Structure 1
């Protein structure tokens, strides 16, 4: 039996830990291997042809409407699966901001410096840039559901030593391990959404995912501000333990495996067991390569792209600064509102509700901009994703300047709160469009581009809390916030420049040239299939010949 071509719906994945397979026609193997040294890619069909037995029977979906394919699941089931990742992201965001608002209690109860207490935010956050690079490839072998479940259990369990800690070292180690678990799960969310939603359906689920990252960060201090003030950081940890444990307990009842390669691999194994025929194989098993190769790609290609791709460098610099501002304000809001307006911890925590409001308005603004994307995507390509980013470029420095000029005792505190709302609208739009734009621009290499961006972004975000208070003490509230607004203004030109020159910059990169070659081959393949379909079968051609003779 001849190998059957892979189903595009079974292999197309985007975002964070998933590769987009354009199912190209296989070029000569020698050319592929020479490209591998440059791009670290081997064409999937070439790998399968090289390693598979000659009489292999490829296992694929049972047609385009196969109900086992996650893309064909009901909308209700898709939303249930999507909610798992979105809620997990919200829990992780609550953990970050909940600890932040309780930082003074950590400092007082454990007798440590403010810098050591804030290190709990840094260690938790830095794992979001490093752990997924090492652990995300495991989802290609074992599936997403196992990674989600293991991460949820570890994430919940390590709130116990945080609640019982007798010294700051216990808190820091526990938060580091909990951060690894949370970061691994959250890094899979984008891939999960790509598993179950087709490209044209994915906008709203992705917007909710981004909202959970920003909106839940704002809800943490609102929920825990008075708890931290009255009961201390231990009660915050106990509450987070209860919520996270409940989430981990219900996870097995609502979670299904969604990764197509894993499902097809399991289907092939089941057929081999039922029939005793070892020829049944999943093409993804041959595409995947060894775990060592996946780890090498996961670590090596993002570094290559970050050094060679001007578009990726520009987007990474822009969103990394914006992410740093997110953590800067996470620490500075209690500082500013206690110094200027004499708010206590609970009152300062309530102010964070403006982050939730800003994120909600940002999501509404993005939905409004999506019509421009749909109208111009054929003409503009990936750059059509940047219409929402224009708002991000404008609102981030504007919100920071408003916060700067209204943070005086003679001004009502609501003025600075409005500045934070505008700032968070911009940060939400920056975050969402950076992911969407890179996923569209780099397609097959989206995983590596997003991994590189996420690594730098989270490292920058992890460092900002460590110097925030020192910067405010030395420069003053207006000086520190004004500096932030000024840098934001300089970087705000990024989406406008990429909108004009992005296509030309991408066209010069070896990764873009490889994508263009694959797209051209795929287009030629589709055109060939269309011509053969139009010509019809030999019998149909004979009928047409007879018809013409009769007409004559």
Structure 2
């Protein structure tokens, strides 16, 4: 006599006598097991998380990105004279003290991004933001120029993880259709006018010095660190799967703790063999060396981002001779163009031109080069805006004429960078963070070089010729999207790491 716990075994007929089918004596138990399995699968897939949490995650990484890239990077620029007076520095050393944040911003992603792909996004975020906060506090209490330079450098090194990891977290968390729209906000933080100088000017008017400003920034980063520690889950799906799946039948930590949150907040314990650590560190360089698509795309994106930043800074200097209202309009016009570019891409180009092509080849994957058509049209407009602004900024011509170029450049730059970023994500799905890291490194390297050399540049060339020079580089880059469209499939076919 079988016990109630023993499954009942039945054979339907003689032909199926060798097939034994278990039947559960309690359907509710079977349903509960299936429900538990579904919930476990959702925990292992960050795209299955609740909509409200994914929205919160998008806001969190965007705010963190705004604070590190847009706010803190240039907040001390307004206090250059105060730094020179307190530490007895010349103009070159003051420039170095302020720009060393950007210099180290170029180095960090090549370490943090490959680590995030092996250890997970959350442990790297925790390490970087704790280090970022400590560095900000130490910079605020610096008693000499050397310590200020060192801790500002460490701030840039730790803060550099935020930009590529923000793109990676959004790619991990959202479905492709939504992640393309969410990534636009990250790109906006990269190329929109920096609010750090305005923030510093506002605090200076309220009686703050550079030290008080540094303390305020440290408090802001500390609050962000608390939010990251308490609310940021691991998003990389391979790491979630490795953590949740028990090895050799042993219970995993989620079963041991009986808590879903325990699984999210202990992911930092996952490690890789020490012998392969050097492979993790060397991964970005190997990837760049072996992938011509990444080299072309990263250099192109870096040139677009750096050219946009140069336009912002040169136009700000060129408009100093005009009224404050004109200066404000010049800065806002770029932001308006960026916003229009996001709207055009997310609500016109993507749903009406790209998605139909995706559905036409489903369930196969559409060729990544399909999206480059938009870049091929936006590139000539981007290059023309430099020539337009440089050669129409004259006392004999109304200031409205060159200002028209600002929103057009902002729109074209947003379209180019959003399309190229999504192209890189399409091609390098398994190494998104590392691929985006190279774009970040090259772009901020070019921006830093221009920032350091800007006194010599403005002392040698007029605004007209600076814009002409940068515009000439942009004209030379116009064929890049078309060349990638033509030869991209061939370059991907000879690679063993991408689809």
TM-score of the two chains, using structure 1 as the length reference: 0.70
- Partners of 1:391 and 1:426 within 8 A in 2: no
Deviation of 1:471 (Å): 1.4
Q: CA deviation at 1:272?
A: 4.8
| Cα 1:426–1:309 shift into 2, 3 Å | same
Which residue of the partner structure matches residue 77 of structure 1?
A: 53
Instruction: Please list, as runs of the form range in 1=range in 2, the aligned pairs for 1:294-373 lying within 5 A after superposition.
Output: 294-300=277-283, 302-329=284-311, 331-338=313-320, 340-341=321-322, 351-367=330-346, 368-370=348-350, 371-373=352-354
Determine the structure 2 residue equivalent to 1:257. Answer: 234
Task: Report if the CA contact (8 A) 1:222-1:352 is conserved.
Answer: no
| 1:271 and 2:248 correspond | no
2:448 to 453, 459, 462: 462
Tell me the number of residue pairs that the alignment of Structure 1 and Structure 2 aligns. Answer: 440
Displacement of 1:484 in angstroms is 0.9
Counterpart-to-counterpart distance in 2, 1:423 and 1:399: 6
Partners of 1:304 and 1:151 in 2: CA distance: 24
Equivalence map 1:69-218=2 (5 Å): 69-92=45-68, 93-103=70-80, 105-107=82-84, 109-120=86-97, 122-140=99-117, 142-215=119-192, 217-218=193-194
Aligned equivalents of 1:183, 1:456: Cα separation in 2: 13
Task: Please list every run of 5 or more consecutive structure 1 residues that lacks an aligned counterpart in the other structure.
Answer: 1-60, 276-283, 517-552
Query: For residues 86 and 229 of structure 1, what CA distance do their matches in structure 2 show?
Result: 28
- What is the RMSD of the two structures over their aligned residues, measured on CA atoms? 3.5
* Counterpart Cα distance in 1 of 2:391 and 2:141: 43
By how many angstroms is 1:90 displaced? 0.8
* Bigger mean CA offset, 190-199 vs 124-133: 124-133
- Contact 2:115–2:281 under 8 Å retained in 1: no
Q: Which runs of 5+ in 2 are unaligned?
A: 1-35, 257-266
C-alpha distance in 1 between matches for 2:182 and 2:102 = 24
> Do the aligned residues in 2 keep the contact of 1:341 with 1:409 (CA within 8 Å)?
no
Are the equivalent residues in 1 in contact too, given 2:114–2:434 (CA < 8 A)?
no
Contact persistence 1:105–1:229 (CA under 8 A): no
Alignment of 1:15-94 (within 5 A): 62-63=37-38, 66-68=41-43, 69-92=45-68, 93-94=70-71
1:374 to 2:355 alignment: yes
Cα 1:223/1:436, change in 2 over 3 Å: same
Q: CA deviation at 1:192?
A: 1.4
SS of structure 1 residue aligned to 2:55: helix
Q: Offset at 1:372?
A: 1.7
- Report the CA distance shift for 1:209/1:334 in structure 2 as closer, same or farther (over 3 A): closer
Cα distance change, pair 440–423 in 1 and its aligned pair in 2 (3 A): same
Partner secondary structure for residue 408 of structure 1 = coil
Specify the alignment match of 1:45 in structure 2: none
Q: Secondary structure at the match of 1:271?
A: coil
Q: Deviations over 1:205-261 (max 9, x none)?
A: 11222223334x433334333434674544543442333233223333432232333
What CA deviation, in whole Å up to 9, does each residue of 1:21-70 have, x standing for no partner? xxxxxxxxxxxxxxxxxxxxxxxxxxxxxxxxxxxxxxxx9359833132
Q: Which sits farther off after the overlay, 139-148 or 204-213?
A: 139-148
Partner SS, residue 258 of structure 1: coil
| 1:476 paired to 2:462 | yes
Q: Is 1:290 aligned with 2:273?
A: yes
Report how far residue 141 of structure 1 moved. 5.6
Corresponding residue to 2:488 among 494, 502, 509: 502
Cα displacement (A) at 1:78? 0.9
Partners of 1:383 and 1:499 within 8 A in 2? yes
Following TM superposition, by how much is the alpha carbon of 1:142 offset from its aligned partner in structure 2, in angstroms? Answer: 4.8
The answer (yes or no) to whether the contact 2:163–2:186 under 8 Å persists in 1 is: no
Matches of residues 518-529 of structure 1 in structure 2 within 5 Å?
Answer: none
